[in-house]
């Protein structure tokens, strides 16, 4: 593996039913783990032999031909070091794994985060992920967003999961705590692009990439709402940008949340909680997809992390404090005017 590549030679007979079909089309059918473009590249690189002869992509097979394919499993991201870490893996088989990412864990190395990322941990968990693009990571969550991510363990699974994401058939459901009391749910359908001045931020732009966010109210508090969010698209910071755009930013969002807002009349416990909640209150709670090998729909759920549970408890207690005070006032009033 010194050249960063694992070499494998596969010899196989072309089925008779593929007679008179183009070689590249036949390769796609016989090697579904690889994309058509990759197989065509291998033909051009003379890593495919048909009856011992170097063919062209457009050559027709006759059926019964002896096909020899020199597969190169490239060791991708060689600079990413495998690191032992305690991953919360909620499901795993030969094709995929689903991980519940904690708050504070970066998904893959980037500027300022050379290691200690989910990708480092995945490579330690399974060394074969070196052979899959980005170690099988097909979608991401922000550093301070918790919840479910699916990882492809094979090239075939990677290809099919990417196709599902592009076709918008992967079901992703989030829960978030936002500022403001929402009266109902809705849909935000407006493009998102890179911020004009701050390149680390995203912004709503009509000419940006299409972004569609659906949300529904689960609970209402004194000055906040807990919402369920479903994504049709997966743009960077999509939920955070869209909710800020409709004036309901996520609690704790240091990038898009603006100045801290304290609801009028809220108690000290809630004030302390809001002042100390320094990450966006966002959790990828549910993930659903078609399994790349079985073709069956699978779905997973991850409970809310402790910090969001504590935030919800304080929000509920703050409302209960008002109810309790009102009850005392009613009891005092009733006692004062009781007739014997």
**The residue count for the chain:** 340
The SS3 assignment for 197 reads coil
pLDDT at 1: 38
Element (H, E) at 151: strand 146-152
pLDDT at 338: 28
Mean pLDDT in residue range 252-281: 93
pLDDT band at 159 (very low <50, low <70, confident <90, very high): confident
Element (H, E) at 177: strand 171-179
- Residue 145 pLDDT exceeds 70: yes
pLDDT at 78: 60
Q: How far from 271 is each of 158, 260, 279, 307, 320, CA to CA, in Å?
A: 45, 10, 16, 15, 15
Lowest mean pLDDT among 18-32, 62-76, 107-121, 153-167: 62-76
Tell me the β-bridge partners of 209.
Answer: 192
In the block, residue with structure tokens 């899959």: 132
Element (H, E) at 36: helix 36-44
**Sheet of strand 5-13, all strands in order from the earlier edge strand to the far edge:** 5-13, 66-74, 48-50
Percentage of residues in the chain having pLDDT higher than 70: 89
- Residue 119 pLDDT exceeds 60: yes
Q: d(Cα 246, Cα 249) in Å, to the nearest integer?
A: 8
pLDDT tens-digit profile of 191-203? 999 887 887 889 9
- Residue 4 pLDDT exceeds 70: no
All structural domains of the chain, each given as residue ranges with its CATH number in brackets, are 5-74 (3.10.290.10), 89-319 (3.30.2350.10)
- Residue 258 pLDDT exceeds 80: yes
Give me the catalytic one of 24, 65, 142, 253: 142
* 317 assigned to active site: no
Q: d(Cα 172, Cα 182) in Å, to the nearest integer?
A: 22
More confident residue, 9 or 253: 253
- Residue 234 pLDDT exceeds 90: no
- Residue 323 pLDDT exceeds 60: no
Mean pLDDT score across all residues of the chain: 87
- Residue 109 pLDDT exceeds 90: no
Using N-to-C axis directions, what is the helix angle for 306-336 and 268-276, rounded to 10°? Answer: 170
Torsion angle defined by CA atoms of residues 213, 214, 219 and 221, in that order, rounded to the nearest 10 degrees: 40
pLDDT at 120: 94
pLDDT at 310: 97
Where in 221-320 does DSSP place strands (E)?
Answer: 224-231, 282-290, 297-301
**H/E/C letters for each residue in 50-117?**
ECCECCCCCCECCCCCEEEEEEEEECCCCCCCCCCCCCCEEEECCCEEEEEECCCCCCCCECCECCCC
Mean pLDDT in residue range 40-52: 88
- Residue 180 pLDDT exceeds 80: yes
pLDDT at 71: 72
Q: d(Cα 102, Cα 106) in Å, to the nearest integer?
A: 9
pTM comes to 0.75
């Amino acid at each position: 593996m010194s050249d960063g590549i694992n070499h494998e030679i596969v010899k196989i007979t072309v089925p008779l039913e593929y007679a008179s079909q183009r070689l590249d089309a036949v390769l796609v059918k016989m090697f579904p783990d690889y994309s058509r473009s990759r197989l065509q590249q291998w033909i051009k690189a003379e890593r495919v032999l048909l009856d011992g002869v170097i063919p062209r992509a457009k050559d027709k097979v006759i059926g019964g031909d002896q096909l020899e394919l020199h597969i190169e499993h490239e060791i991708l991201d060689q600079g990413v070091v495998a690191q032992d870490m305690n991953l919360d893996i909620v499901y795993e088989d030969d094709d995929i794994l689903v991980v519940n990412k904690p708050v504070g864990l970066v998904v893959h190395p980037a500027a300022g985060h050379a290691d200690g990322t989910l990708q480092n941990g995945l490579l330690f968990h399974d060394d074969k992920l070196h052979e899959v693009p980005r170690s099988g990571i097909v979608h991401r969550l922000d550093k301070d967003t918790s919840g479910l991510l699916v990882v492809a363990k094979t090239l075939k699974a990677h290809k099919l999961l990417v196709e599902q994401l592009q076709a918008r058939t992967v079901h992703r459901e989030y829960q978030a705590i936002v500022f403001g009391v929402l009266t109902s749910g809705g849909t935000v359908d407006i493009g998102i692009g890179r911020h004009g001045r701050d390149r680390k931020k995203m912004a709503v732009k009509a000419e940006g990439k299409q972004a569609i966010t659906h949300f529904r109210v689960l609970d209402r508090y004194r000055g906040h709402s807990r919402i369920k969010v479903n994504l049709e698209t997966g743009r960077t910071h999509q939920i955070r940008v869209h909710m800020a755009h409709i004036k309901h930013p996520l609690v704790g969002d240091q990038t898009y949340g603006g100045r801290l807002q304290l609801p009028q009349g809220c108690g000290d416990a809630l004030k302390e909680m809001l002042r100390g909640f320094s990450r966006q209150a966002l959790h990828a709670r549910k993930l659903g997809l078609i399994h790349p090998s079985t073709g069956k729909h699978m779905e997973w759920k991850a409970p809310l992390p402790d910090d969001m549970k504590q935030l919800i408890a304080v929000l509920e207690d703050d409302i209960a404090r008002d109810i309790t005070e009102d009850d005392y006032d009613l009891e005092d009033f009733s006692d004062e005017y009781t007739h014997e």
